[in-house]
Chain A
């Protein structure tokens, strides 16, 4: 049997189990266990890759970037599912007693399918299949946002569905334009990335440029590049925290992988300068805009969503200057910390019943452990040493300066500074101040284990970035 299909085994089992409403009682725990099993599977597959074996299933090939993002997606999915096994049943009893079993288990089915499509996106080496899988992620995740069925969630779902579908339609147009730019090639067109990179010089430059712009508009909408990010704060704040973690930690990476693949094709063609000219300003402007909008936030999860937008800007900048290792490193660090932060926010939301910053205060006195973890997470996401985000942002900035992009680098520095101040202020407001009465009780240590371990991983990632690690990443990118 094809070894790559093992990747899909556990999510498929969860999806199938979720179709049966009777499983509602034990499905969360089984899903968590199955996803924990996914960890050694992915580890084994990575070891095979390290030995040089080629894993492929049709158009889905596990190359360097694919492996890296598979690992990131797995980590995100595993941690989200474990935390979901703890929070979701309690939340269901407390907040949504009228939720039917069927809706609950269907949530798991859709989540599992969503995770499956997020696996498929980095592994797709065919432009068409890449598009299909990204559209599939949109379709699978839209009903997930609507879990609570509140007015805000419905509005967020509609905006998400509409804007992302329009964006992906633009990406389809761009895909067709890129395919059409191959009209002069003797063997007809191809959509496989490796073949496109080899023949890129012979593409029609006018259509290739237009195709790249449209694809950037499309996949950029999905990724959340300013000014196409409008759906992001709504969707990420209205969804339940596990779904927000999946969206921020894994889905945005998928869209960026698509942009990365396209930039590789462009760099091999005669229009290589376009990548630089478009992506670097886009990334820098996104960072500044997101950081400015962070200042005036009054909703905890919305603030985290804008922080995601800012990191998307950083990742776009990384793609723009063409540095694969920094891209992977930054994506990894961001995902880890963002998931931890979202899960903590979910905990606080459950505890206090609100996510408005004005109503939250004194967490440090109410639940000291969560308060400490919140502080650590805030420092981590804002890019302070010794966490991983600091190292990757540092590397990004140094590469940006090396590429002589002064304006972008300065904008990024300003943005990061503003973000640091904004996040510190907001989180400080949550931590200190008058102690609020918690609405309900929650197992403090049980629900803190997953964020704690994620933050530990981030710490380890921060201190262990050695030149050999960077070499490993570079080799990975060039596979």
Chain B
């Protein structure tokens, strides 16, 4: 099996994402998210070297600083202020969620031919990005705490950016940078809203916020 270095890093990213499905402590989840995003920044650097474009290196730096270090720190600080780091907050048994995460990886593997762009190389990355998308959605569905849902959303965004990086050539870099910044702003606003929710409800358990019915 010759895997290029990009595919190795992507596979590591996917492994971390699958394992994240079974991690219940918020602190460990944030650490896993940070590692996964750091791997993804590495992929960005490699793509930049491959395509001889400097803006990918700047993008990789931005991703590393903001998404791999900044956001986990911010979310960790928020959760510490709210005092919820011990709460597990899962709706589904973590063991079963792990199996479903692996199933998502399998789904990505089987759907790769549909999504891969052959001429861009790294066809495995298309399947892995799909798997990250599914795992992100799985995390959002099976977690009760609002912050864990944000973590799932970030995993999803990682998958989408992975697809854009590896399968497309010549994506306007302003769009990618703006997308990253908007994700950052979205996380900041989400953090603010979660803080208000905690102050108002005394918890951030979304399964208990069901007052608005049909």
Binding site for B on A (CB under 8 A): 128-129, 131-132, 135-136, 138-139, 142-143, 146, 149-152, 154-159, 161-162, 165-166, 169, 172-173, 176-177, 179-180, 183-184, 188-189, 191, 204, 206-207, 210, 233-234, 237-238, 293, 296-297
Contact = CB atoms under 8 A, between A and B. Distances in A.
Contacts of A297: 214
B209 A189 contact: no
Nearest to A298: B214
Contacts of B189: 139, 142-143, 161
Nearest to B178: A132
Interface stretch (B26-34, B97-105, B164-172): B164-172
The secondary structure that dominates the B interface is helix
A179 to B, nearest CB: 5
Q: Which 7 A-B pairs have the closest CB atoms?
A: A128-B175, A176-B164, A155-B209, A180-B168, A173-B160, A234-B212, A188-B170
B182 interface: yes
Interface of B: 114-115, 117, 119-120, 133, 137, 140, 146, 149, 153, 156-157, 160, 163-164, 167-172, 174-175, 178-179, 182, 185-186, 189-190, 192-194, 196-197, 200-201, 206, 209, 211-212, 214
6 contacts: A151-B211, A183-B119, A188-B170, A189-B168, A207-B115, A233-B214
Contacts of A184: 119
Contacts of A158: 146, 193-194, 197, 206, 209
A132 B170 contact: no
Contact of B117 (A135, A138, A172, A180): A180
B138 to A, nearest CB: 12
Nearest to B210: A155
Contacts of B156: 166, 169
Contact of B169 (A146, A183, A238): A183
A189 B201 contact: no
B153 A165 contact: yes
Nearest to B118: A183
Given A161-B190, A166-B156, A210-B114, A132 B211 contact: no
A146 B182 CA distance: 20
B45 to A, nearest CB: 20
A184 B160 CA distance: 21
Given A154-B196, A162-B149, A176 B209 contact: no
B182 A173 contact: no
A375 B175 CA distance: 47
Given A128-B178, A158-B209, 18 more contacts: A135-B182, A139-B186, A149-B200, A151-B200, A151-B209, A151-B211, A152-B211, A156-B212, A158-B193, A165-B190, A166-B156, A169-B156, A172-B160, A176-B160, A183-B120, A189-B171, A191-B172, A297-B214
Given A151-B201, A180-B167, A183-B120, A132 B175 contact: yes
Given A136-B182, A152-B212, A179-B168, A128 B197 contact: no
Contacts of B117: 180, 183, 204, 207
Given A149-B196, A162-B153, A238 B212 contact: yes
Given A129-B175, A169-B156, A189-B168, A161 B193 contact: yes
Contact of B153 (A136, A169, A172): A169
Contacts of A128: 171-172, 174-175, 178
Contacts of A179: 164, 168, 171
A189 B120 CA distance: 13
Contacts of A162: 140, 149, 153, 190
A243 B172 CA distance: 34
A30 to B, nearest CB: 27
Contacts of B157: 169
A402 B164 CA distance: 41
A136 B178 CA distance: 10
A131 B186 contact: no
Nearest to A174: B160
Contacts of A169: 153, 156-157, 160
Contact of A154 (B133, B175, B193): B193
B200 A161 contact: no
A204 B167 CA distance: 13
B194 to A, nearest CB: 8
Contacts of B115: 177, 207, 210
Contacts of A157: 193
A151 B164 CA distance: 38
A149 B193 CA distance: 10
B209 A172 contact: no
A165 B201 contact: no
Given A156-B212, A158-B206, A176 B193 contact: no
A136 B175 CA distance: 13
A215 to B, nearest CB: 12
A155 B208 CA distance: 10
